Amino acid sequence: MSAVAAKKKVGRDLTEGNILKTLLIFAIPIVLTNLIQQLYSMVDLIIVGQFVGSTGTVGVATGGEVSDLMTPIATAFASAGQIYIAQLFGAKDIDRVKKTIGTLLTLMLSISFVCIIGTVIFHQTILDLLHCPSEALTQATVYMIITTIGMPFIFGYNAVCGILRGMGESKRPLIFISVAAVVNVVADVFLVAVLKMEAAGTAIATVLSQFGAFAAAFYYLYKHREEFDFELKLSYFRLEKESLWIIIKLGIPQFVRVMLVQSSMLWIKSNVNSYGLVVSATNSVGDKIQKFLNVFMNGVDAAAGAMIGQNLGARKLDRAKKIVWNTFGCCICVATFSSFLALTIPKTLFGVFTSDPAVLELGVTYMRIMVLAFFASACTGSFQSMVTGSGFVSLGFLIGILDGVVCRIGFSLLFVYVFNQGAIGYFWGTAFSRTLPAVLCYAYFISGKWKTRKLLTGNK
């Protein structure tokens, strides 16, 4: 019992207390963490857009696609570790929590180095596939190569945050990302605005900020090594067979799902880029705004997944069900607010990133279309939190196929070639991509089959 008590010094029991209050207290730091991530990611585009122009904006957006692809992979495996740790923590199995921490850290750092090697070797092929506009090719190449160096920091940071959130701790990751944000803004302004280093300056600022976040996270882990049973020695960083298998079993389908979704987004970007600089810039800026407006929903969904994991581990099924409904209510409110902004001040939102009149005009159409995406995401994320929390790997994989292939690409082709919408058709494809996944997630939740599903801890 003392071991459990020790662990609670760096964690939080999410199986007790008022559900909505607990959800919001746990979710708000995650939301703020995601918000800061989006803000300092936007700083790159804002500064480059203002000091370099549209070629810089497209170069950073296109060159950053590999990083945008790899980061969700890191998130997928970190999420796998988080789900498993949440169920173990809820079941009070602290010894297996320790083994899982060592395994997750080792696995994540190994994957990051594979990503670096692959990107450096194939960067030119990737840019060719993306149909990067020739005017922005140099900027995109420089940005892609430099940001790839930061992969171990991205993966390491996500691993530590996954560990903490699985144990109910969401405040520390907020501090870590705040360190990164300060470093990024200061370095961005100095390297791009003062030294005129263009995309290279932005890339260096990004890597420095990623290092700052990872260093802060790893220092916290080391400082609390007794509570975590963490040891900074080679023998600790090993792959424990059972934990590795469960993380891989959870992580690979999430990895494939992320790959499908990201690949379909790259496919859309590649096709959109072929319509010229204005359409490409609109899509790049619009994607940033959409991600920014979805920050609260994504944070609440992530919090709900961890809460559900702990409650299922503790076999509190009715509480797990109520968590989903509370999550749904929060997300619908946010979708309504996001839609209000998209419909009333679209040019103001786009104006933060660009002053190009043509991009601002097309941005109005983009934001109107994305209203559908806000509500579809609210429904999908809320009910998918039960899929995530219960560790239902195969269903999560199917959702990824629907989102990334069937809906996103299918609807895009429908609007572009059947309804002759041109570049706008790709915007509609993105908006419709989460409709069928929302239906599937809701059906699983309503069926109640999650109540009898075998948990990752081996319990029913």
The model's pLDDT over 179-232, given as tens digits with 9 standing for 90+, comes to 888 888 888 889 888 888 888 888 898 899 889 888 888 888 778 777 665 566
User: 188 with 205: CB under 8 angstroms?
Assistant: yes
Cα–Cα nearest to 27, from 151, 173, 133, 209? 173
Q: For residues 46 and 113, which has the higher predicted lDDT (pLDDT)?
A: 113
Longest CA pairwise span in the chain (Å)? 66
Q: Which pLDDT band holds residue 300 (cuts at 50, 70, 90)?
A: confident
Q: Give the model's pLDDT for residue 368.
A: 93
Q: Give the model's pLDDT for residue 231.
A: 64
Does the pLDDT of residue 343 top 70, yes or no?
Answer: yes
Share of the chain above pLDDT 70, in %: 92
Mean of the per-residue pLDDT values for the chain?
Answer: 83
Q: How far apart are CA 34 and CA 81, in angstroms?
A: 19
Q: For residues 345 and 403, which has the higher predicted lDDT (pLDDT)?
A: 345
Does the pLDDT of residue 366 top 90, yes or no?
Answer: yes
Q: Give the model's pLDDT for residue 235.
A: 66
User: 427 with 419: CB under 8 angstroms?
Assistant: no
User: 78 with 104: CB under 8 angstroms?
Assistant: yes
Q: Give the model's pLDDT for residue 2.
A: 41
Q: For residues 153 and 46, which has the higher predicted lDDT (pLDDT)?
A: 153
Using H for helix, E for strand and C for coil, what is the string for 133-201?
Answer: CHHHHHHHHHHHHHHHCCHHHHHHHHHHHHHHHHCCCCHHHHHHHHHHHHHHHHHHHHHHHHCCCHHHH
Q: Which pLDDT band holds residue 409 (cuts at 50, 70, 90)?
A: very high
Q: Give the model's pLDDT for residue 8.
A: 46
Find which of 37-46, 152-161, 188-197 is predicted with most confidence, using mean pLDDT: 152-161
Write the DSSP assignment of 357-401 as a string of letters: HHHHHHHHHHHHHHHHHHHHHHHHHHHHHHHHHHT-HHHHHHHHH
Q: Give the single-character DSSP code of 10.
A: G
Q: How far apart are CA 203 and CA 193, in angstroms?
A: 13
Q: Give the model's pLDDT for residue 458.
A: 57
Does the pLDDT of residue 3 top 60, yes or no?
Answer: no
Per-residue pLDDT, averaged over 129-145, amounts to 81
User: 101 with 89: CB under 8 angstroms?
Assistant: no
User: 91 with 311: CB under 8 angstroms?
Assistant: no
Tell me, rounded to whole angstroms, the distance of Cα 98 from its chain centroid. Answer: 25
Q: Give the model's pLDDT for residue 303.
A: 85
User: 184 with 205: CB under 8 angstroms?
Assistant: yes
Does the pLDDT of residue 292 top 90, yes or no?
Answer: no
Does the pLDDT of residue 11 top 70, yes or no?
Answer: no
Q: How far apart are CA 309 and CA 316, in angstroms?
A: 10
Q: How far apart are CA 68 and CA 113, in angstroms?
A: 16
- The pLDDT tens digits of the residues spanning 260-283 come to 877 788 788 888 888 888 898 888
Q: Give the model's pLDDT for residue 41.
A: 67
Q: Give the model's pLDDT for residue 230.
A: 59
Burial class (CB in 10 A: 0-12, 13-18, 19+), 308: buried
Residue 347: other Cβ atoms inside 10 A: 13
Q: Give the model's pLDDT for residue 448.
A: 87
Q: Which residue has the tokens 């950073």?
A: 60
pTM of the model: 0.71
Find all residues with CB under 8 Å of 387, minimum gap 6, and list them: 395, 396, 399, 441, 444, 450
Q: Give the model's pLDDT for residue 460.
A: 54
Q: Give the model's pLDDT for residue 414.
A: 94
Does the pLDDT of residue 4 top 50, yes or no?
Answer: no
Element (H or E) spanning 431, and its range?
helix 424-432
Q: How far apart are CA 62 and CA 261, in angstroms?
A: 16
Burial class (CB in 10 A: 0-12, 13-18, 19+), 326: buried
Does the pLDDT of residue 119 top 70, yes or no?
Answer: yes
Q: Give the model's pLDDT for residue 356.
A: 85
Q: How far apart are CA 250 and CA 241, in angstroms?
A: 14
Residue 344: other Cβ atoms inside 10 A: 10
Does the pLDDT of residue 1 top 70, yes or no?
Answer: no
Four-point Cα dihedral 50, 53, 59, 60, nearest 10: 0
Please provide the size of the chain in residues.
460
